[in-house]
Structure 1
Amino acid sequence: MQKSLLILLFFGIVLCGKVVGKLKIVCNEKNKVKTCRADDILMSVETKVSNAELSEPTVSVILAGAFEECAELTVLRLNLRKGPIILSKNPFKGLSWLSEIYFGDSLVTLYDDTFQSKLNLKIIKMRLCEFTTELANKFDNLHYLKELRIKNGHLENIKAHTFNSNKNYMEILELSPCSIFSIEANAFAALIHLVTLDLSNNTLMRITPDTFKGLSKLKTLNLTNNNLYTIGVTAFNGLIELVTFDISYNDLIEIASTAFHNLKIGDFMLNKNRFKKIAKGLFNYPNSNMSQNIYLQNNFIDKIEDGAFALSKKEILNIYKNPLVLTNRKVLQELKKL
C-alpha cells in the first residue's frame, strides 16, 4: 500500500509538471559517474568504471532501472540522503556483474522486489528504515550472497525460515542493532555455511534449542548487549565448530552446567552479567581443555565450586571486580595451575 501511494505520488508530480512546467532535471558527473535526478529522485546513472562511488546527498528515491547503463559495475557505494530512502521495483536491473553494494548512512526501505533481478551480489551492507520489519523474501534471488550486514533496523521478530536455502552460501550475517527480541525456531536453519553470526545490541530475552539449528559450521557467535537471563542445557546443541562466544553485557544469572559439553569454544566472553556462582560442570567438560580465555569480570560471583576449572588450561581467566573471597584450598590450587 505504501509503495503504491509513493508511485501514484510520483506520477502525480509528473502530471502536474506537464501543466505548470517540467520537472527540473539536473545532471552531474563526478569520479567518472554521471547522474541525472529530478528533485530528490534519481532517474539514471551512467558509468564505465567497475568500482564506483555515487554521491547525491539529496536523493531519497531510486527509480526502476536507474542503473541500466552501468553494466560493468562490480562495487557500488551509495552516498544518498542520510534519512529514509525508497528503492523502486528492481532498481538494480542490468547490474549483472555487481558483487558488492554499500548503502552508507541511508535508511533503506526494502520490498520483496527490490532485488528482483538475479544479481551476483556477494556483499550487502545497509541500514534499514523503520518501515522494513521483516527480512523474509527480501533476498531470495541473491543466490551467491556471502555477507549480509544490517545495522539499525526494527525487525523485532525473526520468523522461521526467514533465510531459505537460496542463502546457503552465506558466511557472515550481522543484524545489529535491529531491535530483535525474539527468534523463531529454524530461522537460520538453511544457512549451513554460516561462520559468523552477530546478533549483538538487540533485546533478545530467550534462546531455544532450535534458535541456532543447522549452524554446524558456525565459529563466532556474538550475543553481547541483549537481555538474556538464562541459558538452557541444549541451547547450543549442534554448534560443534564454535570457537568464539560473546554473551557479555546481558542479565545472565544462570547457564546450565552442561550447556557447553559438546562444544570446543576457545574464547568465552561472559563479563558484565549477573552470575553469582561458577558451578563445577560449567567449564569442566570433555572439550574444556580447548578453551583458552574466559572473561568473567564485573559479575556478582561470590562462589566457585570445587573442580570448576579442573580440566582447563587457560591463558586468561579474568575474574576481576567480583565479590569473591577465596578460602577453599582446592579452588585456590586449581587457579594456581591455570
Structure 2
Amino acid sequence: MLSIKMQRSSIFFVLILITSSLRMIFCGTKIDGDFDDTYWYPLDIKVWTWWINGNVEISSKNVEISAKQSEFIKAINFRNNKKIEFLPIKVYKKLPNLNVFQAFNCAVQEVKYENFQNLAELQLVSLASNEISNIPKDTFKDLSNLKHLELRMNNIQTIHELSFQNHINLKFLNIGSNEISYISPTTFENLKELRNISMSDNTLQSLGDEHFKNNKKLERIWLQNNKIHILSPTMFDHLKNLVVANFTGNSCIDRLFEVNEDEFCALKVLGLKEIIKKNCES
C-alpha cells in the first residue's frame, strides 16, 4: 500500500487553487505548496512553478499524482526534504507540459523511466544532493529537448553507456561528486550540442580519444579531484572551442588549463597536448 504521511490528516480529491497557494494530490492525500512565477537559471525562462512543502513524505516507489490535469504548471520543485525517498511516476498524466523538474537535497534513492516518461518538454532536470546510485539506460530517454542535466552529489557508481543517447540538445551535464570510476567511451557520443561537462570529484582513472570525439562544441571540462593516471594526448585536438580544462588533484596531472578568448586555438590545444603527453600518456 502506498505510503505518504502528512502532518495533517485531511484528504482531498480535487485540485484547489486559492490565490497563490497550489494544493496537489498524491493518491488522495493533500500536499501543500507555493505556486508562483519563477525565473529559472540557466534556461533564461520564467515558468509557473509548484514548490512542494517540506512536510511531505514519499516512501513508496509507485506514487502517482491524483489531481485534475494542469497544462499551465511548467515546473515542479521538491527541495530540502529528506523524507522524499522516491519521485512520483507517470507525472505526464497530470502535468504534461513541464519544462523544469527539480528535486534538490532530498533523499531520492533511485530514478527510473516512469518518473520522466512522456515529459518531452523538459529542458532542465536537477537531481543534485540525493542518494541515487545508478542511472538506468532508459531513465531519461523521452527527454529529447533536455538542455541541462544535474546529477552531482549523489552516490552514483555506474552510468549506462546509453543513458544519454537521446539528448541531442543537451548543453550542460554535471555528474560530479559521485563514485564513478569508469565511463564508457561511447557514453557522450550523441551529445553534439554539449558545451559544459563536469565529472569532478569521482574516481575516474583514464580517458581516451573516444570519450569526447563527437562533442566538438565543448567549451569547459571539469575533471578535478579524480584518480586519472592515463590520458590520450590527442583527445582534445578537435575541441577548437575549449577554454577550460580542469585537471587539478589528479595522479598524473594537477593543473587548471585555462586560456583567454584571444589566444589561438592551435596554441592552446598544443599546450595541453604536450602536458598530457609528458605526464599521462599510457
Match of 1:310 among 237, 240, 244: 237
- Over 3 Å counting, the alpha-carbon distance change for 1:320 and 1:139 in structure 2 is farther
Structure number with the bigger relative contact order (C-alpha 8 A, sep ≥ 6) is 2
Matching of residues 1-338 of structure 1 within 5 Å: 84=7, 88-89=11-12, 93=16, 95=18, 98=19, 101=21, 112=28, 114=30, 122-129=48-55, 131-133=57-59, 135-138=63-66, 141-151=69-79, 152-158=81-87, 161-263=89-191, 264-283=193-212, 285-286=213-214, 288-313=215-240, 314-325=242-253, 333=270, 335=272
Identity fraction in percent: 20
**TM-score, with structure 2 as normaliser:** 0.73
Structure 1 CA distance, aligned partners of 2:49 and 2:101? 10
Structure 2 CA distance, aligned partners of 1:120 and 1:87? 24
1:53 match: none
- Over 3 Å counting, the alpha-carbon distance change for 1:138 and 1:310 in structure 2 is farther
Structure 2 CA distance, aligned partners of 1:334 and 1:281? 20
Structural RMSD (CA): 3.5
8 Å CA contact 1:109–1:132 kept in 2: the answer is no
What is the CA-CA distance between 1:307 and the residue it aligns to? 2.3
Structure 1 CA distance, aligned partners of 2:12 and 2:226? 50
What is the CA-CA distance between 1:211 and the residue it aligns to? 0.5
1:64 match: none
Which consecutive residues of structure 1, in runs of 5 or more, have no partner in the other structure?
7-60, 62-83, 327-331
Q: Which letter maps to 2:229?
A: D
Q: Which letter maps to 2:179?
A: D
What is the CA-CA distance between 1:109 and the residue it aligns to? 9.3
Structure 1 CA distance, aligned partners of 2:234 and 2:135? 27
Give the secondary-structure state (helix, strand or coil) at the position aligned to 2:71.
coil
Question: Per-residue CA shift, 1:132-154, capped at 9, x if unaligned?
Answer: 33551245533321011111143
Larger Rg: 1
Q: Which letter maps to 1:143?
A: E
Structure 2 CA distance, aligned partners of 1:187 and 1:109? 16
Range with greater deviation from structure 2 (134-143 or 193-202): 134-143
8 Å CA contact 2:173–2:197 kept in 1: the answer is yes
Structure 1 CA distance, aligned partners of 2:22 and 2:174? 27
Which consecutive residues of structure 2, in runs of 5 or more, have no partner in the other structure?
38-47, 255-268, 276-282
Structure 2 CA distance, aligned partners of 1:93 and 1:230? 41
Give the secondary-structure state (helix, strand or coil) at the position aligned to 1:187.
helix
